[in-house]
Chains A and B, each alone.
Chain A
Amino acid sequence: MRILVQGCRQALSLLLAGDPEIWEITCRTVAVSGSATALSVLVGLPLGFMLAMRPFRARPLVVSWANAGMGLPPVVVGLWVSLMLWRYGPLGRLGLLYTPVAMVLAQAVIATPLVAALSMAGLQQLGERVKLQIMALGASPVQAVWLMVREARYSLLAAVMAGFGAVVSEVGASMMVGGNIRGHTRVLTTATVLEVSKGNFEVAIALSFILLVLAWGITFLLTVLQQRNYRR
């Protein structure tokens, strides 16, 4: 009990004092997970679009992959990305293991199925009817895609944020491919694990507060957007 109260008090003072290392870790976390999410959107959104709009023969297979991929354990992704990036692995020449890029890649692998599956669901919800309506208005294929994205923007945003939420709170893959190197690949989750093992509970609590605020902020935004969507 003493540790809890004292830890929380010290954590707050750490945060308020703006401990440079904590803020650096926070910024890195947002940058890495943000890039990973951006990458997963670049891959997952077109994939979701394709799955929602174009029937092709392998579609059920790909859809089942995407859906199964939503529950992909980060540790498994971490292991496989590590195997790829080992110095003497298939992509070893790039020298990417234990760099933020490796973390971005691993997190993108985690987020892509999420983004693809959720954006597919969002676009499918619009249905053939909206697509036909947009074409009937005289849209070119490119304009049609843009209008579809606009129509489904809330569900697509939700997909993106779900992806970000998944990777920002993930620890296994980041630890494995990033190595939790101070000033280089240390992010909020891996730092929390480390500080707990070192017994620095006040720092760990401070980090967990930041993570909580991030996670809550995302959920809050999601809820606001969904409500807006609902009111429409």
Chain B
Amino acid sequence: MGDVLQARDLEIRHGTWKLSVPLLSVRRGEVLAVLGPNGAGKTSLLMVLAGLRQPAAGTVLFDGVPLGGGRHLLEQRRRMALVLQDGCLLQGTVLHNVVLPLRLRGVPWREARERARRWLDRVGALHLEQRAAGGLSRGEVQRVILARALVSEPELLLLDEPFSGLDRPIRQELLRSLRALLELTGITCIFVTHDFAEVPMLADRVVCLLDGRVADEGSPWRVLRRPRNPALAQFLGIENVWPVVRWERTNHRAGRVWLEGMKQALKVQGELPRWPTHACLPADEVELSPDPGRDRVASANWLPGRVTGVYPAGEGFCVEVSCGIRVLGRVGRRAVANGSCREGAEVWVHLPADALVLVGDTEGSGGARTRAP
């Protein structure tokens, strides 16, 4: 089946700010995540895709037909549903709100009410039916908003940061409901988020916006775990990003790299880019040990170092170790309590070869720089 939505050569401007999207498409039944930091233009992009905003250049094809103007555009808009980032319910009862999209589309009251009740039931909010929209909790409001978006059974669902600003447990629950609904209906969906943790839960594919461009695109696992460039790595919350000085390939799935400030080479496994410029490693992949033993040190990327800082982070602690390069690792409360990770202590750090990811600057991949292998 073809693309439900396809955007070509889009350019969106807001003052001096600009976002270029050469090609963006979503196949029927696919769930596409648009990931980017705040201010990346995700919402503007979604508004253009929803036909509520004109792009500075480019076209959007909905079901193969360009988003038109006037009456035609209204018909196209009515085949989509859009959930806004700070969406709100209108005055009246919950039922009244869910019925509204159908009534706007000319569905008779009786039928509209039946359909609305069906969808309220599906999102688990049928018991709220007669409640006033103003008296709901935020989680309940989001459920009703979801029912209101789906009640017109749109061909394309557009979600803008759907559950941002909600408490974590409620958000997790709503995300699970949404995933179940998407699987149930097989509805095509584009959702925009800045939270990369949401992406693998929902998306089949992810497009990453950074600095006014499409910085990466691919499967969630690939995009999140193997970022294409250091800026993406930073955005994706990968704590350790080191510049590569030298590298060599030992076979097609393995090699060695020399990092800036280090004499020793590190082993790497996995796919290698043509011109790696940086090595990345999430902090939770770093292993710390006071004395790992000679055998292990010889067989893997173990480096001796000294702890230069310990900070509380999340449920544990973040440990900064200096070993030629600056390594950020994560330890539990216990390691800090027993003194093995206090500031100034001698430790060994392990940078696992299979977790170490080499990334290449997109500009650098053309071979402009001459870093000899």
Contacts and interface: CB of A to CB of B under 8 A. Distances in A.
B88 A129 contact: yes
Contact of B78 (A129, A134, A138, A150): A138
Contact of A143 (B81, B104, B148): B104
Interface in B54-84: 74, 77-78, 81-84
Contacts of A138: 74, 77-78, 81, 101, 104-105, 152
A151 interface: yes
Interface string B94-130: 0000001100110000000000000000000000000
B52 interface: yes
Contacts of A129: 84, 86, 88
A133 B88 contact: yes
A135 interface: yes
Contact of A132 (B52, B78, B91): B52
B312 interface: no
A231 B87 CA distance: 20
B86 to A, nearest CB: 6
Interface in A133-162: 133-140, 143, 147, 150-151
Contacts of B82: 136
Contacts of B148: 137
A138 to B, nearest CB: 4
A133 B104 CA distance: 13
A130 interface: yes
B90 A140 contact: no
Nearest to B135: A232
> What's the interface size class on B, roughly?
20 to 34
Nearest to A129: B86
B131 to A, nearest CB: 12
B328 to A, nearest CB: 40
Nearest to B158: A136
B14 to A, nearest CB: 14
Interface string A189-215: 000000000000000000000000000
Nearest to A146: B104
Contacts of A140: 74, 104
A133 to B, nearest CB: 6
Nearest to B79: A138
B238 interface: no
B132 interface: yes
A137 B52 contact: no
Contacts of A150: 90-91
Given A139-B104, A143-B104, A133 B52 contact: no
Given A132-B52, A232-B134, A137 B88 contact: no
B40 interface: no
A226 to B, nearest CB: 14
Contacts of B88: 129-130, 133
A105 B82 CA distance: 46
B152 A136 contact: no
B257 interface: no
A137 B84 contact: no
A134 B105 CA distance: 13
A139 to B, nearest CB: 5
Interface string B315-326: 000000000000
Interface of A: 129-130, 132-140, 143, 147, 150-151, 231-232
8 contacts: A136-B50, A136-B82, A137-B100, A138-B78, A138-B105, A139-B104, A231-B134, A232-B132
Given A138-B105, A143-B104, 11 more contacts: A129-B84, A133-B87, A133-B88, A136-B50, A136-B87, A137-B100, A137-B101, A138-B152, A147-B90, A151-B90, A151-B91
